[in-house]
Structure formats: structure tokens, C-alpha cells
Chain A
Amino acid sequence: MAISRRAFLKGGAVAAGAVALNNTPAEASADAPETRIKGVKSSTTICPYCAVGCGLLVHTKNGKVINIEGDPNHPINEGALCSKGSSLFQVANNERRLQKVMYRAPGSDKFVEKSWDWALDRISQRMKETRDKSFKISELNKKDNKEYVVNRTEGMAFFGGAGLDNEECYLWTKFSRAMGIGQLEHQARL
């Protein structure tokens, strides 16, 4: 929902964001917030921590996040945030964030930087090798002593998903099962 400053000032829902940003009503202010919000865009998001689903406003300028705060129009949190939600700004701006693809060779004591292309090609080869080597077409059921077709990849497991978006979870499930993965698990089992 990236919007221009004009829409930002006009929009009923996001005008309150301007209030929060400037502490003065955006439209009525004599102290025009022109200089402070020039070039600022606002969009909405939902907190990535717990599952209450609080709304936040993300203010950006020149492609950088310059402020994140509670969305006053969100019906659950009504602008309020806890200490984690209030710190989302430091997820967006954090020197410890991974910026590069890193690779650690067997037995090595360090990571080395690699390109996406290099890493993805090698990973897809590993996935294919492992699948081809460990694919189980049929399996014996000890209870009735019969073989059943199972079409399952035995040699690898896929984990994770509670931090992914729904659409990402969906593609992850779809890809996993197409790869024959039975060993698909995530945080909901813990």
C-alpha cells in the first residue's frame, strides 16, 4: 500500500499516521509538517512476533525505513505495541542482518561469501542427488507383510514455516510434497 505524500495527507486511514508522526493533526496544522515529512511514504504492516496480529505503520524515505509505530486505526492494538513490536525498526535497520549468501565447506572453520547463482545451483544439485539416492518407491508394512507404494524421499527433511507468509507456506508445502518429502515439520510441533 505504498502511497504518495498527497494521499498520505488526504487518506482518512493513514492521516492518523501523520498525527502520530508529527504529534499535530496533519491537515489542520499551522506548523506545516512539510519539512519533516517531505518525501515520506507510509504503508501498513502486521507485527512479525507473537500471534496477536497488531498493526503498524512503516514510514520510509529514500528507500529506507525511518520510523515504525503502532497503527492507531488497527482494531486490535489501536496504536499500542509491546516492547518487541516497538523494536521492529531495529529489524529493518540492523548491522547484524545477513546481507550475503554464505557458504561453509566441510571441515572448514569459516564462512565464505558466494553468489546466489552458485549457492542455488549447488543446493538444487544436493536436493536432487539426495532425492535420487534415497527415494523409496515401496515399503514393507510389517503388520500385513505387504509392500505398498509410498513414493517418498527418505534422505532429507524440510523444517520451518511459522515465520513465513501464508503464500510462502503454501509454496513450501507444494514444493516439499512434490519432492516426495514425508519429513516436513515446523514450530507447531514444539
Chain B
Amino acid sequence: MTNHWVDLKNSDCIFIIGCNPAENHPISFKWIEKAMENGGKVIVADPRYTRSASKSDIYAQLRPGTDIAFLGGMINYALQHDLIHKEYVRDYTNAAFIVNAKYDFKDGLFCAFDDQEKSYDLKAWAYELDGAGNPKTDPSMKDPRCVYQLLKKHYSRYDIDMVCDITGTPKDAYLKAVQAYCATGRADKAGTILYAMGITQSTHGTQNVRAVAMLQMLLGNIGIAGGGVNALRGESNVQGSTDYGLLFHLLPGYLKSPEFDNVDLKAYNEKWTPKTKDSKSANWWGNTPKYITSLLKAWYGDNATKENDFCYSYLPKRMGSYAYGKIMEKMGKGGLDGLVCMGMNPAMGGPDSGAARDALGKLKWLVTVDLWETETSIFWKRPGVNPKDIQTEVFMLPAASSVEKEGSISNSGRWAQWRYRAVEPVGDSKSDLWIIDQFYKRVSALYKKDKGTFPEPITKLSWNYGNGEEPDVHLVAKEINGYFVKDTTIKDKDKVLEFKAGDQVPMFKYLADDGSTVAGCWIYTGSYTKDGNQMARRDASDPTGLGMFPKWSWCWPVNRRIIYNRASVQKDGTPFNPKRPVIAWNALEKKWVGDVPDGPWPPMADAKEGKYPFIMLPEGHARLYALDLKDGPFPEHYEPMESPVKNQLSTRQNNPAVAVPKNVSSDLAKYPYIGTTYRMTEHWQAGAMTRSLPWLAELVPDMFVEISETLAKEKGIKKGDKVRVVTVRGTIEAVALVTARLKPLHVEGKLVEQVGMPWHFGYAGMVTGDSANVLTPTVGCANTAIPEFKAFLCNIEKGGRKG
């Protein structure tokens, strides 16, 4: 989230698309209702009439996987009716930037596409540069090759009739939603967009998110109270686990993991440090060398020196993708010996679970660390297999629960909050911290004793977390924050700051690229300072009344509660909305008041030191037109990989940058209905944390599928009947729930039915059931590879698995 949960109360219009907060983030609705009490409107766009929809002012049904059409129509409406926040768009986004003459878009395809490789040449989409090397701009936004005009042209095809024919949305509901939301383009109005997996789990998921962000840019809704682009994250610390780089392409703090041709630290820095020639651009990623060097110092300590490139060569280098789906594919072919799962359940959580479960049987060894038996840890005795046929050695390690250990987790609003150990872990269970520490210490001891291949990255690792039975979590948190390794004097404007070796670094602007600072995750610098553990703070004071709670826990970056907040003010630092000022420039005292601003500089209008608001981009302006996505500078509607209809906007049926995988079928004679998966309040994710709790198991004891009254009638299915749902991947059995909440959609002149189902059930735990992900396809987003769980084709028949 650019904003945070309590900030929802500041919104004039809350647009919920691709998430269901009343169901899946129930307490967030406390703040949505607060906004409603203040006159705010709630719009819900969803294939189903959800619990959130039941609370909304406007409900607009849309077909799964057609979000870009829906949002593109809103972008078009805002542009055609001139409802955009013009000053914001002109000054703070790249709307006025000129694109090079080669850029073109025709029949669903952007220029420079290689049909063999299924990829674009991104260089063809570059800005046009002036003599000094800066992008050319036209502040009047009239140049036919400026982003504003290209945008207008691109989305002119998304008129209301076209959009509603694609999405199946009733026209009057769509128009109401569009008008209500576009009204937030006024400078004194705030609109927020909330989304989750309904947006991301798609072959064009990243472009769905971009469409959300673009609408917010056009309406001037980013950086302000009650606004923002707000991903509602689904797991208690999935924000933190992402921040700490537990993905193949990342290191902590969103640094990129090195690629094969980043042959040394210099080459790494050249590749990943963006440059600008514009002195008004803060270009914050220009600090990359400071952050990677401080990370290497945190990992290799005194062994990391300038002479040995700070042990950069010890880091593994990637070539190609090791995204989750690729790893599972490799496992299925017998390409992996070992797998360690820390509280993750690949027998359930990924697409095509049948194939995933078979793949686990190809491993030589498997380690699971969890609170419970999971479908993964007992995959070798799952229904339908003979354990004798499975040669995988399985270690099932018992983990401590959240109240049996100490540490921090980061919520969706980026608040890192500290938790305490209330009791000792049950039985022999241990904290993950202890288990990881044991893995390291024992492997390291083996390498010290027996040598082996390239032992240095392990034996030279800096691993000093006390002498206790388990690592001192405070020492870990302090290393993450970072400290000075030698006495350091820093001149910061008119101040001279003295630090001793070992002092905690107060802010990441003091991190250095010469090896004099350590920081395990630069965005968390400031979380554990000389003033102590900031994440443990419990002062609920609210000086602005906007609910920012600056002294409650700690929020990355630099305790900034609303990011991009420099975009909430005019160029001279006056808030666009004086009633809800996030920050404001005090010209007399020459300082900002309110939230921690996005950088210390004076407002953009200051000729000498002013900076553009979007400090993480080298051009300092938010990108209505993207330069670095694999599937286009503008989001374009394509059909999901399995779809019951033809793409009406172009002859390109699917995202051209996604290869058509095996094991998908759009054979409507066999699979006529749209299948979609989702979550519910009473259960959580793969179900391990809920299906063994008697209270929750009693509330929802069975796997079920939801169908409309019309489909039920057609198939002779009654509520409570056993049914089977079939896709080209597999078959599941479930209880039918016939409901008026699910309605067929009118698409391209025909009626399309949906089959909806939760994905929480499996064969482990107290209450069990068939898994929805047995049905879902292994195909994902062109940019992130996140699977398309939300829209696939299936059939449904009365009767159990065997009919």
C-alpha cells in the first residue's frame, strides 16, 4: 500500500476491484465504514456479489480477467470528459514527455515485437531526448507524440459500449461507477483503489496494476490522504518477506539479485544504478551502490573489503527465470534433489496441484517447517498413491507459533510491528529463527571440517547473533537497521554529526558505498536506532487527526506513512487539499510539517534545490507510459489464456508476451463455464492455519462451489448436492452452493456462467476436502509469472467424483 489501513477513513470514494476486504481483510472495513459515515462512496467491481459488494453504494459486475477493459474505459472517460487533475498530470507524471517516432501500436500489438521469442525490444519505446540527454517535453501536452496524446488515442477505443460488451457489466452500473470515481479528479477530493489477487493473478496482472495506478495518476490521487494505490496483502508478513527479498530476482530492500553478466560489483552497479542528467530529479535508486555495499558488509563483515569487491563474487548469479512455476516444472522433470519449505505448502498453493504433488515425489529429500501436518509434508501418503512408490525422504520439523517467539512483522501499510513471546513453544517445536540458525551452523561446520565445493561463501559469512540457545533477535534487527563500522563524521547541510564505530545508523541517507556502514535491508534503516527498537513503539497519538500514528510502531521508509507525499502539494508546497494536508511547506522556517516528506528538499518550485515528487524514477515523474515492462507501455486488454469469447479489441486473443502453455484448453464443448477461485473469512490460504481449529472448522467444514440459480436449473443441481468440477488439468468433488450472489454475465450477446470456489481445502488437517488448485492452469503474468488463478474454463456435473 502507498497509504495504510486507517487512512481509508480519509477517502471520498473507495473503489474496490479485485479484492473483497469485508471478507478477507474484515477489520479494514472499520475504516471503510468510517469513510462512509463521512459521506464517502464505495464502489465494488467484482464477478461475484461479495460481502464487500453488499455494503457498497455501487456494484458493477465484471467478467473475470477483464479488468483492463473496465479500467481502460474509466481512463478513457476521465480523458474524454476532462475530469483529470490537470496540474498534477502535467507536472508530476510523464504526460508531457515526448516518445520517439518509432513508437507504434496496431491491432493489439506494440512496435518491435519478436514473434519467435514472444518478446518486445523495449528500447523501441524510449523517450525522445534533447541535446543534453534529458527527455523532451511539451507542457501544453498538444504534441501528437507526447504521452498524454498517445494515451488518449490508445484508450479512445475503450468506449462504454465496447467495454461493457467485453466485461459483461450492465451499462448503467458501469456509468454510475465511472462517474462516481472520476469525480475524485478534483484537487480537494480523494479516491483510493483497493486491489488484491483479483488484479494480480492474471496473464496481464502487472498491466492490471498499472491500469489502477494510471487512473490514480490521472485523477491526482497518489500521495494524498485517502488516496493511493493499495494492494491488500494476504499474509501477515508477505510485505516483510517481499521486503527481505525472498524471490529469485531480488535481494533485501528491492535490490536486484545479480545477473550473470554483472561480473563484478562495478558491473552490478552500472547495470542497476539508474542515471539522470536532470538536477531536479532525486533519482533515489542512484544510491544503489551504497545499499548493495552495506548489504555485503552485513553478510561478509570484516571479510568484505574494497580489495576483494566486498565478497560480491560469493553471491549466486542468475541466468533466466527461477520463478516458482519454473522451479516446479524442473522438479517435475526430476531436476531437483532437495526442497526446503518454511511454512509454505506447494502441494496446495500453486496451480495444477496434481502435477505439483507428483513433482514432490521426484525429490530425493524434502524438509517442511510448519505448525501442522500439511498437504506437502504428507504428500507421500495422499489419497490415491502408494507410499512404497515414493522414494522421497521427508523431514517434518515442528515450528513455534507467533505467540511463542519474538520479532517483527510488516503489515500491508508497511508498519513493522513487534511481537513478544508470551509462552514457550509447544512440545519440541522451535522458532524458525532457531531452525535457520541451526541449518547455518551445522552446514558451516561440515564445510569447515570436510571442505567441499567453494566453501567460502558459507564459511566466511558473518553470523554473530550472541551465544544463546537461539539467535538474539535484537542483534538480528540491529544488523538489518545497520551500524557504522568505524568512527564517522558526516556533514549534513549545516550540521556535523559524529558517530562511533558500532553506533546504529539513524537513516539510510547516511549509508555509504566505501564499506564504512553495514545495513542488512536498507529500507529498514531507522527501525532500530540509538533510541531503541522503533518497531515496538506503542504511542497512539495522532497529531494531524489523519490517523497516521507516527509514534505507533515504525513504517518503512523513514517512518513515512504515505509515500509519494510530495505529490500531495502544489509546486510551491501548498497542499492541494488544505482540509487533509499530508505535508505542507513552511516557507518562513523553511521546513516541511506533517508526515515525513519524500526527501528533505524544498518544494519542486525552488529553483536551486527543489525536486520532482516521484523520487524512485530517474525522470522523477510517475509513468503513465511505462518504459520497462515486457508487455507494453500501456495496458491493453487481452483475454485470459482460457476464455469463452474472442477478444473484441484486436485479433490478439492473449497477451502476446506470454507463451501458450501445455495443458490449457478453450474447448467450449468440454469446458463451457468460467472457473474462478477466492478466499473467505473463516479460512486462510492453504488452510493449515484454520482447518485444524475447531471453531473455524465448524463454521466452514466442507469444500463447496458456488453456482448461479440459472446454471443450477440447467444442470439439475440443488443446494447441498455433490458435484464434480472438471478442467483439462483435473477433477474435484465438492458440495454445491446455489446462490443469487452469482449471476451469469452477458458477454458478446451470449450468457456466460461462472463456477466460483475457495481454494482453502486439501487432504491434511482436521476438516478436509478437494483442492481448487487441482483445476487451475500453469500460466502466469508476462512480468511476474504470478499464475492466472482467477479465470479458467471448466465444466460442472451433478454427482461425486465418479459421477
Point out residues on A near B: beta carbons under 8 Å.
Answer: 1-2, 13, 41, 43-55, 58, 60, 63-65, 68, 73-78, 80-88, 90-92, 94, 96-109, 111, 116, 119-128, 130-135, 137, 139, 141, 148-190
Q: Contacts of B543 on A, CB cut-off 8 Å? A: none
The smallest C-beta distance from B702 to any residue of chain A, in angstroms, reads 17
Q: Contacts of A150 on B, CB cut-off 8 Å? A: 260, 316-319
Q: Quick check: B319 and A139 within 8 Å, CB to CB?
A: yes
Nearest residue, chain B, Cβ from A158: B340
Given known A-B contacts A65-B403, A97-B429, A165-B433, A109 and B439 have beta carbons under 8 A apart:
no
Q: Quick check: A151 and B246 within 8 Å, CB to CB?
A: no
The smallest C-beta distance from B525 to any residue of chain A, in angstroms, reads 13
Given known A-B contacts A103-B395, A162-B241, A177-B316, A137 and B343 have beta carbons under 8 A apart:
no
Q: Contacts of B458 on A, CB cut-off 8 Å? A: 178-179
Q: Is B407 an interface residue (CB 8 A)?
A: yes
Q: Is B628 an interface residue (CB 8 A)?
A: no
Listed residue (A85, A109, A127) with the most chain B CB atoms within 10 angstroms of its CB: A127
Q: Which 6 A-B pairs have the closest CB atoms?
A: A99-B427, A53-B411, A165-B407, A160-B344, A160-B342, A98-B398
24 contacts between A and B (CB under 8 A): A44-B538, A45-B402, A45-B403, A52-B5, A52-B27, A75-B552, A83-B696, A84-B681, A90-B695, A98-B396, A99-B428, A120-B439, A124-B446, A137-B454, A154-B335, A156-B339, A156-B340, A161-B344, A167-B473, A173-B245, A173-B246, A175-B440, A181-B316, A185-B248
The smallest C-beta distance from A64 to any residue of chain B, in angstroms, reads 7
Listed residue (B246, B298, B682) with the most chain A CB atoms within 10 angstroms of its CB: B246
> Size range of the interface on B?
35 or more
Given known A-B contacts A82-B681, A133-B337, A148 and B446 have beta carbons under 8 A apart:
no
Q: Quick check: B423 and A51 within 8 Å, CB to CB?
A: no
User: Which of B316, B372, B549 is close to A96, meaning CB atoms less than 8 Å apart?
Assistant: B372
The smallest C-beta distance from B461 to any residue of chain A, in angstroms, reads 5
Q: Contacts of B769 on A, CB cut-off 8 Å? A: none
The smallest C-beta distance from B3 to any residue of chain A, in angstroms, reads 13
Which B284-338 residues sit within 8 Å CB-CB of chain A? 298-299, 313-319, 322-324, 327, 331, 335-338
* Additional 15 contacts, C-beta under 8 A, given A151-B317, A163-B342: A44-B420, A91-B371, A92-B401, A96-B692, A98-B396, A101-B396, A102-B395, A102-B396, A123-B367, A148-B263, A166-B240, A166-B480, A179-B458, A186-B247, A189-B247
User: Which of B260, B419, B438 is close to A139, meaning CB atoms less than 8 Å apart?
Assistant: B260
Given known A-B contacts A84-B682, A159-B341, A162-B235, A91 and B299 have beta carbons under 8 A apart:
no
Q: Contacts of B430 on A, CB cut-off 8 Å? A: 116
Q: Is B650 an interface residue (CB 8 A)?
A: no
Listed residue (A44, A53, A120) with the most chain B CB atoms within 10 angstroms of its CB: A53
Q: Quick check: A127 and B396 within 8 Å, CB to CB?
A: no
Nearest residue, chain B, Cβ from A64: B423
Nearest residue, chain A, Cβ from B393: A106
Given known A-B contacts A98-B427, A184-B246, A58 and B25 have beta carbons under 8 A apart:
no
Q: Quick check: B692 and A188 within 8 Å, CB to CB?
A: no
Within the assembled complex, what's the spacing in Å between the Cα atoms of A81 and B242?
Answer: 25
Q: Is B415 an interface residue (CB 8 A)?
A: yes
Q: Is B392 an interface residue (CB 8 A)?
A: yes
Listed residue (A63, A90, A135, A171) with the most chain B CB atoms within 10 angstroms of its CB: A171
Q: Quick check: B410 and A166 within 8 Å, CB to CB?
A: yes
Within the assembled complex, what's the spacing in Å between the Cα atoms of A94 and B143?
Answer: 67
Q: Quick check: A166 and B244 within 8 Å, CB to CB?
A: yes
Within the assembled complex, what's the spacing in Å between the Cα atoms of A130 and B89?
Answer: 54
Within the assembled complex, what's the spacing in Å between the Cα atoms of A157 and B245?
Answer: 15
User: Which of B5, B260, B403 is close to A148, meaning CB atoms less than 8 Å apart?
Assistant: B260
Q: Quick check: A127 and B372 within 8 Å, CB to CB?
A: no
User: Which of A60, A101, A128 is close to B422, meaning CB atoms less than 8 Å apart?
Assistant: A60
Q: Quick check: B370 and A46 within 8 Å, CB to CB?
A: no
Q: Quick check: B299 and A101 within 8 Å, CB to CB?
A: no
Q: Quick check: A104 and B236 within 8 Å, CB to CB?
A: no
Which B356-380 residues sit within 8 Å CB-CB of chain A? 364-365, 367, 369-373, 380
Q: Contacts of A44 on B, CB cut-off 8 Å? A: 419-420, 538
Query: Contact flags (1/0) for B445-459 with A, using CB distance below 8 Å?
Result: 111001011100110
Listed residue (B392, B422, B461, B549) with the most chain A CB atoms within 10 angstroms of its CB: B422
Q: Is B758 an interface residue (CB 8 A)?
A: no
Q: Quick check: A178 and B319 within 8 Å, CB to CB?
A: no
Q: Quick check: B235 and A124 within 8 Å, CB to CB?
A: no
Within the assembled complex, what's the spacing in Å between the Cα atoms of A145 and B714?
Answer: 60
Given known A-B contacts A101-B428, A106-B393, A159-B342, A182 and B693 have beta carbons under 8 A apart:
no
Q: Quick check: B327 and A157 within 8 Å, CB to CB?
A: yes
Q: Quick check: B236 and A173 within 8 Å, CB to CB?
A: no
Q: Quick check: B480 and A151 within 8 Å, CB to CB?
A: no
User: Which of B238, B251, B416, B695 is close to A51, meaning CB atoms less than 8 Å apart?
Assistant: B238
Q: Quick check: A132 and B452 within 8 Å, CB to CB?
A: yes
Q: Contacts of B341 on A, CB cut-off 8 Å? A: 159-160
Q: Contacts of B515 on A, CB cut-off 8 Å? A: none
Query: Contact flags (1/0) for B237-270 with A, using CB distance below 8 Å?
Result: 1111111111110011000010011010000000
Within the assembled complex, what's the spacing in Å between the Cα atoms of A138 and B439?
Answer: 26
Within the assembled complex, what's the spacing in Å between the Cα atoms of A94 and B387?
Answer: 28
Within the assembled complex, what's the spacing in Å between the Cα atoms of A168 and B547?
Answer: 30
Q: Quick check: A107 and B387 within 8 Å, CB to CB?
A: yes
Nearest residue, chain B, Cβ from A95: B692
Within the assembled complex, what's the spacing in Å between the Cα atoms of A103 and B201?
Answer: 35
Which B19-57 residues sit within 8 Å CB-CB of chain A? 24-28, 30
Q: Contacts of A125 on B, CB cut-off 8 Å? A: 446
Nearest residue, chain B, Cβ from A146: B261
The smallest C-beta distance from A45 to any residue of chain B, in angstroms, reads 5
| Of B490-498, B717-725, B741-749, B781-789, the one with at least 4 CB within 8 A of chain A | B781-789
Q: Contacts of B620 on A, CB cut-off 8 Å? A: none
Q: Is B349 an interface residue (CB 8 A)?
A: yes
The smallest C-beta distance from A92 to any residue of chain B, in angstroms, reads 5
Q: Quick check: B387 and A155 within 8 Å, CB to CB?
A: no
Within the assembled complex, what's the spacing in Å between the Cα atoms of A164 and B402?
Answer: 9
Q: Quick check: B393 and A184 within 8 Å, CB to CB?
A: no
Q: Quick check: B316 and A156 within 8 Å, CB to CB?
A: no
Q: Is B391 an interface residue (CB 8 A)?
A: yes
Query: Contact flags (1/0) for B377-390 with A, using CB distance below 8 Å?
Result: 00011000001111
Nearest residue, chain A, Cβ from B1: A51
Q: Is B355 an interface residue (CB 8 A)?
A: no
Within the assembled complex, what's the spacing in Å between the Cα atoms of A67 and B261?
Answer: 55
Given known A-B contacts A52-B411, A131-B452, A153-B316, A65 and B422 have beta carbons under 8 A apart:
yes
Within the assembled complex, what's the spacing in Å between the Cα atoms of A52 and B684?
Answer: 14
Q: Quick check: B391 and A106 within 8 Å, CB to CB?
A: yes
Listed residue (A130, A177, A190) with the most chain B CB atoms within 10 angstroms of its CB: A190
Q: Is B672 an interface residue (CB 8 A)?
A: no
Within the assembled complex, what's the spacing in Å between the Cα atoms of A49 and B369?
Answer: 17
Q: Quick check: A83 and B373 within 8 Å, CB to CB?
A: no
Q: Contacts of A158 on B, CB cut-off 8 Å? A: 339-340, 342
Within the assembled complex, what's the spacing in Å between the Cα atoms of A160 and B345?
Answer: 8
User: Which of B234, B237, B380, B685 is close to A165, meaning CB atoms less than 8 Å apart?
Assistant: B237
The smallest C-beta distance from A152 to any residue of chain B, in angstroms, reads 4
Listed residue (A100, A120, A162) with the most chain B CB atoms within 10 angstroms of its CB: A162
User: Which of B30, B263, B335, B689 is close to A49, meaning CB atoms less than 8 Å apart?
Assistant: B689
Q: Quick check: B6 and A166 within 8 Å, CB to CB?
A: no
Q: Contacts of B350 on A, CB cut-off 8 Å? A: 190
